[in-house]
Structure 1
Amino acid sequence: MTPADLATLIRDTAVAVLTDRDLDASVVPDTVTVERPRNPEHGDYATNLAMQIGKKAGAGNPREFAVWLADALATDAAIDEASVAGPGFINVRLAAAAQGDIVGKILGLGEAFGTSELYAGQKINLEFVSANPTGPIHLGGTRWAAVGDSLGRVLEAAGAEVTREYYFNDHGGQIDRFARSLVAAAKGEPTPEDGYGGDYIEQIAARVVEQQPGALEGTEAQVQETFRAEGVEMMFEHIKQSLHEFGVDFDVYFHENSLFESGAVDKAVQTLKDNGNLYEADGAWWLRSTDYGDDKDRVVIKSDGEAAYIAGDIAYVADKFDRGHSLAIYMLGADHHGYVARLKAAAAALGYDADQVEVLIGQMVNLLRDGTAVRMSKRAGTVITLDDLVEAIGIDGARYSLVRSSVDSSLDIDLQLWASQSSDNPVYYVQYGHARLCSIQRRADEAGVSAADADYALLTHEREGDLIRTLGEFPGIVTTAAQLREPHRVARYAEELAGVFHRFYDACQILPKTGEAPEPIHPARLALAQATRQTLANALRLVGVSAPERM
């Protein structure tokens, strides 16, 4: 019995108890909170339902209702004990067989354990990374690559249909500066004052000349356009390759320039004019964004007739919903706080629900070596890149280190720690737990021990109970991670599960010793080990990290 199963049992029992006493059963919530008590001596689980609804239901006082509910729960075969504490807390201890049923459930569901239908039928557009094609992906973009891909996996596990999207910014001034930097490098001239530096600029410039021998011939505008077109394509191919090797691929690469070429920007602007949400002042056209919670109105069409940057954002919002998405999640960097209100305002002004737009803001990442910040990458000139991080600590280390912390806070990554093969390294610790579980299975096969006929009621040891209850929390962890857009919860859970397993391993003999015959407890413990391995593998898959069988 998982916590969710117990919550359902408590809810149904509460409805029955109140109905039998002609009290108001309608106050029983659809979802009952069930938690593990801090002190395990109090029981396996606890609920405060009686305190929440006792008076509302007309039961006199919460403790009186708690006594009725506890007595009714105790009659269920799945409940070993139900007792009342304090003003109305109910502590529940599960029967061994009911608790052990979690093991069988996990083995039956396999990779599906932890999934739900929470967002079934919802189409979610998840835009992340979207780094400008003017250089390699820096650490901030790398964090979003890891977190965004993991969030997509978590949302899919919750039943959503997720479109992973990369917004390819190929329109505007930064592309012009990139092209000028390439031209300067090809001519052997210094980098323009507002340009881009680093080895990658020289390498791309050389490749453009190699593939287009006449690239430096023609008018200044022609040369600029040649290096812009060829250079942006080469840079973007490098970005896509780096992301692919990092385990991150996108369903859609959306080109900003297409919004202007297709007329989508003009269409969105006309829609806003028609519905009165665009007004003219000082020769420019302004979005009435303050009507929708923004701190100021925004210029959409400048006085010279050129579209402001927000014009593309407005057209892009419309495009996402026109493609049938019910929710658009933007994952943006720390310097984009102002975008939260303006994107919501843009959606509302176009006639969509502002709540259909979510903006997640990620904080900065710092690398440390010997306690000192690592500040420069030769290949990128001024920043540390995705490739640099992978080179330093590997793909799994890089992904896990970036996913396991909330994006709301800045992150320091100790390169020595994450490159080490020790229990202090979180990803090594979790992966080692999975490898150890695979080793147990290999030894069980050699010893002829099978979990097929396991009697879960035999799993009564304290450490067995700890492990079973921890396994039972996984579906709730995934659901919460999806609801709060916080995949780091899955990574932290994996670390907790690995720790609980290692303590179980130290305390309980899973397989018979050499020369001894198997006893009934051994298949049961092997089944518990198999369920743990499956759950660890499921958690690692959700954060995009491999689950090695040997280490």
Structure 2
Amino acid sequence: MTPANLAEAVLAAAHAVFDRRGLDHSVLPESVTLERPRNPEHGDYASTVALQLSKRVGVPPRELAAALAEELARTPGVKSVDIAGPGFLNLRLDPAAAGQLAREVVQAGQAYGRSDRLTGQRVNLEFVSANPTGPIHLGHTRWAAVGDSLRRILAAAGAEVTSEHYVNDAGAQIERFGQSLYAAATGQPAPEEGYAGEYVTEIAERIVAERPELRDLPAEEAVPVFRDRGYQLMLDEMRTSLERFGVHFDVWFSERTLHSSGAIEHALGRLREQGHVYDADGAIWLRTTDFGDDKDRVLIRSNGELTYFAADSAYYIDKRERGFDKCVYLLGADHHGYVNRLRAIAACAGDDPDFNIEILIGQLVNLVRDGAPVRLSKRAGNIITLDEIVDAVGVDAARYSLARSSTDSPLTLDIDVITRNSNDNPVYYVQYAHARIASLLRRAADLGISRTDDFDPGLLSHERENDLLKALGEFPGVVATAAELREPHRIARYLEVLAGSYHRFNDACQVLPLGRTPVPAELTQARLWLVEATRVVLANGLALLGVSAPEQM
């Protein structure tokens, strides 16, 4: 029996009690929440539902708790229900009902943990969105890990998710990139506010190899060629780096298309129809101060030049007109000022900024080795690149370490720790639990022992088995909560708890009939089901983070 099944039983018991007593069913919640008691002696799960409902129906909480306990005691799989304090319900499951969860997990396989919590939601998830003027750097890498994990988690909770990378391929930075490439190709210094680093020279040399005549052309003819070809080569490199990191985008959206397709003019017309566009000082403005922004924003300058904000407005409206009811932006710490202005765009477009748009801000990442900051990149000059991080620690360690902490807080990654094969390395600790199970299953196969369809779940009554079953039962709820709160780190922290439960089980409960201690065949079968259920959940959880589940380490 999963916590979700037990919660449904508690709610069903409440409905039955209300029926018998003629109480108002409208005060009953759609669902109830169960908690794990801090002291295991108090039971497997606890509920405060009697306390929550007593005032609404005018029944003393202990009296209502007693009626609920009587009803729940008749529920198959519930061993006992005790009343504590002013009306807490402490529930214990029958070992057979608890152990049956192992079968449910194994039979569900990769589907275990998935739900329909967010079914019906169409989510556009935009993350990384790095300028195509340089390699993916460490800050982008955090969003790559978090964003791709969130994509997987949202899908597991039933949402229809499209991952999107916004390519800033219009504007001054692209022009400066073209000028920087031309300067590198002709032996000139980079222009003011231009781009430097070995990668600029590398790309310039590749372009010259394709078009040797460019060096002899006037700058006004050569720079556009360097700009357009350099942009494509940089974009290809970014795609390759991200794919190597396990991150695939469904859509690479070009900012240029907003200008060439008329999308900006269309968006400005829609915003004007909503009554939030006005003219002043020769410019065209959006009245965002009506919706929490600190100042109104210019859409078209007095010289007729479009602003970045005009493109941002058009991009949001384009997403909504593509059918997405939730637009989620994952932005870096230097974009904190974008929150109110993006929300104001949604409001000016006639949307609900508390529903249709979400902006998540991630904090900075630092990398250290031997207690000292890691040197800057030789290739990129003033940054550490995604490829260098992967080369240093591997995809699994990088993805897991970047996703396991809340994005609200700055993060320092110690290369020495996340590459160490020891229990103080979280990713190793979790992956080792999976590899340890795989090793046990190989030993079982060598002994000619395999799981049979029939086993007695009631045999899984050891304290460590009970702890492990409880942890397994929590996985679907953890996934649903991580999706709703947009917090992938909850998956990582859960996996560490589960891995700890398994390691303690493995140390206390012998599974195979090896050595001098005989294990009854029936108990071996029950524990093999439990072990396989744990392997399934570890693999499913790691997959949500884009991390492998190794068979051996």
| TM-score > 0.5 by shorter chain | yes
Report the counterpart of residue 269 of structure 2 in structure 1. Answer: 270
Paired amino acid for 2:529: A
Q: What aligned pairs does 1:82-93 form with structure 2 within 5 A after superposition? A: 82-93=81-92
- Residue 503, structure 1, aligned to residue 488, structure 2: no
* Structure 1 position 449, deviation (Å): 2.5
> Take 1:219 and 1:316, find their aligned partners in 2: how far apart are those partners?
36
The corresponding residue for 2:550 is 548
Corresponding residue pairs, total: 550
What does 1:139-538 align with in structure 2 at a 5 Å threshold?
139-354=138-353, 355-452=355-452, 453-514=454-515, 518-538=520-540
Residue 275 of structure 1 aligns to which amino acid in structure 2? Answer: Q
Are the aligned partners of 1:449 and 1:518 in contact in 2 as well (CA < 8 Å)? no
Q: Give, in whole Å, the separation in 1 of the partners of 2:23 and 2:275.
A: 53
**How far, CA to CA, are the matches of 1:406 and 1:76 in structure 2?**
39
1:11 aligns with 2:11: yes
Contact preservation (8 Å) 2:132, 2:235: yes
Query: Counterpart of 2:45?
Result: 45
Give the aligned partner of residue 109 of structure 2. Answer: 110
For 1:29 and 1:351, the matched residues in 2 are separated by 32
Q: Which amino acid aligns with 1:145?
A: A
Give the aligned residue type for 2:221. Q
* Partner deviation per Cα, 1:319-338 (whole Å, 9 max, x = no partner): 11111111111111101112
TM-score normalised over the length of structure 2: 0.98
Q: CA deviation at 1:77?
A: 2.7
Residues 24 and 58 of structure 1 are in contact (CA less than 8 Å); yes or no, is this contact kept in structure 2?
A: no
Q: Which runs of 5+ in 2 are unaligned?
A: none
Q: Given that residues 23 and 58 in structure 1 are in contact (C-alpha distance below 8 angstroms), is that contact kept between their aligned partners in structure 2?
A: no
CA distance in 1, matches of 2:261, 2:447: 67
Aligned partner of 2:457: which letter? Y
258-267 or 73-82, larger mean C-alpha shift: 73-82
- The runs of 5 or more residues in structure 1 that have no matched partner are none
Paired residues of 1:164 and 1:250 also in contact (CA < 8 A): yes
How far, CA to CA, are the matches of 2:463 and 2:198 in structure 1?
59
The answer to whether the 8 Å contact 1:511/1:518 transfers is: no
Q: CA deviation at 1:518?
A: 4.6
- Conservation of the 8 A alpha-carbon contact between 2:510 and 2:519: no
Partners of 1:479 and 1:224 in 2: CA distance: 50
Partners of 1:192 and 1:547 lie apart in 2 by 48
The aligned amino acid for 2:544 is: L
Q: Which amino acid letter does the alignment assign opposite residue 360 of structure 2?
A: L
1:220 positional shift = 1.8
What's the CA shift for 1:68? 1.5
Rounded to whole Å, the distance in 2 between the matches of 1:397 and 1:349 is 43
Output one character per residue of 1:209-247: Cα deviation in whole Å (capped at 9) or x when no partner: 111111223332211101101111111100000000100
Q: What CA deviation, in whole Å up to 9, does each residue of 1:110-131 have, x standing for no partner?
A: 0000000112222111111110
State the secondary structure of the residue aligned to 2:270.
helix
Matches of 2:455 and 2:503, distance apart in 1: 21
SS at match of 1:359: strand
Report the Cα offset of residue 76 of structure 1. Answer: 2.1
CA distance in structure 1 between the aligned counterparts of 2:346 and 2:396, rounded to whole angstroms: 37
**Pairs within 5 Å for 1:72-87:** 72-87=71-86
Is the partner of 1:132 in helix, strand or coil?
Answer: coil
Conservation of the 8 A alpha-carbon contact between 2:13 and 2:71: yes
Matched residues in 1 for 2:388 and 2:35: separation?
42
The amino acid of 2:7's aligned partner reads A
Contact 2:255–2:311 (CA under 8 A) maintained in structure 1? yes
Q: Secondary structure at the match of 2:502?
A: helix
Partner letter of residue 382 of structure 1?
N
The whole-number CA distance in structure 2 between the counterparts of 1:540 and 1:366 is 24
Shift of 1:163: 0.7
Bigger Cα displacement from structure 2, 256-265 vs 505-514:
505-514
Q: Give, in angstroms, the shift of residue 378 of structure 1.
A: 0.8
Cα deviation, 1:23-69, whole Å, max 9, x if unaligned, reads 2232221110101001111000001111111121221x212211221
Contact 1:430 1:498 in 2 (8 A): yes
The alignment partner of 1:188 has SS state of coil
Q: Contact (CA 8 Å) 1:25, 1:57: kept in 2 or not?
A: no
Cα distance, 1:364 vs structure 2? 0.4
- In structure 1, what is the equivalent of residue 56 of structure 2? 56
1:482-540: per-residue Cα shift (whole Å, max 9, x none)? 00000110111111101100000000001111585752111000100000000000000
Over 3 Å counting, the alpha-carbon distance change for 1:52 and 1:517 in structure 2 is: closer
One-letter amino acid of the counterpart of residue 509, structure 1: Q
Distance in 2 (CA, whole Å) between partners of 1:451 and 1:68 is 42
Distance in 1, matches of 2:362 and 2:106, equals 37
For 1:435, give the aligned amino acid.
A
- Secondary structure of the structure 1 residue equivalent to 2:4: helix
For residue 423 of structure 2, give the secondary structure of its aligned residue in structure 1.
coil
Q: Given that residues 138 and 386 in structure 2 are in contact (C-alpha distance below 8 angstroms), is that contact kept between their aligned partners in structure 1?
A: yes
For the residues of structure 2 that align with 1:492 and 1:182, how far apart are their CA atoms? 45
Q: Distance in 2 between matches of 1:57 and 1:154?
A: 39
Deviations along 1:71-112, whole A, 9 cap, x unmatched? 221222311111011111111110001111111110110000
